[in-house]
């Protein structure tokens, strides 16, 4: 089951109701707000990982600064990071994202 909501933006549950993936989408290109947006996503990922520590957390963002990338590595809450513009503009990146999500994470 795929659910669109507030926290997380997208949640994917298996047929037993177990949370398998939590996706946070941050579409702003504002570099100055990148850390704030990651902080919001991190809060959502924390809740998802409390629900299921094995849940895949995926951060889809339009702006990834070096400071945010470093924070993501240090926090350890984000399993995968994708750049929205790459997914939208590059067929190979879109396919990589969809393969990762549907073939390896939720295994459809």
Q: Residue 27: count other Cβ atoms within 10 Å of its Cβ.
A: 11
Helix (H) or strand (E) segment spanning residue 51: helix 34-51
pLDDT band at 103 (very low <50, low <70, confident <90, very high): confident
pLDDT tens, 34-43? 999 999 999 9
Closest CA to 26 of 13, 45, 12: 45
For residue 64, the Cα-to-chain-centroid distance in whole angstroms is 13
Q: Is the pLDDT of residue 27 over 90?
A: no
pLDDT band at 108 (very low <50, low <70, confident <90, very high): low
Q: Cα–Cα distance between 35 and 43 in angstroms, integer?
A: 12
In the chain the domains, ranked by start, together with CATH numbers, are: 2-105 (3.40.91.10)
pLDDT tens, 52-78? 999 999 999 999 999 999 999 999 999
Whether the link from the prior residue into 8 is cis, omega within 30° of 0, is yes
Q: Cα–Cα distance between 78 and 58 in angstroms, integer?
A: 6
Q: Percentage of residues in the chain with pLDDT exceeding 70? A: 99
């Amino acid at each position: 089951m795929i659910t669109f909501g507030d926290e997380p933006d997208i949640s994917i549950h298996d047929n037993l109701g177990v949370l398998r993936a939590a996706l946070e989408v941050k579409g702003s290109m504002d570099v100055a707000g990148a850390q704030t947006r990651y902080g919001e996503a991190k809060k959502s990922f924390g809740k998802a990982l409390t629900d299921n520590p094995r849940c895949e957390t995926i951060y889809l963002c339009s702006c990834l600064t070096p400071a945010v990338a470093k924070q993501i590595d240090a926090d350890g809450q984000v399993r995968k990071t994708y750049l929205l513009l790459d997914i939208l503009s590059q067929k190979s990146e879109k396919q990589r994202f969809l393969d990762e999500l549907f073939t390896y994470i939720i295994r459809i």
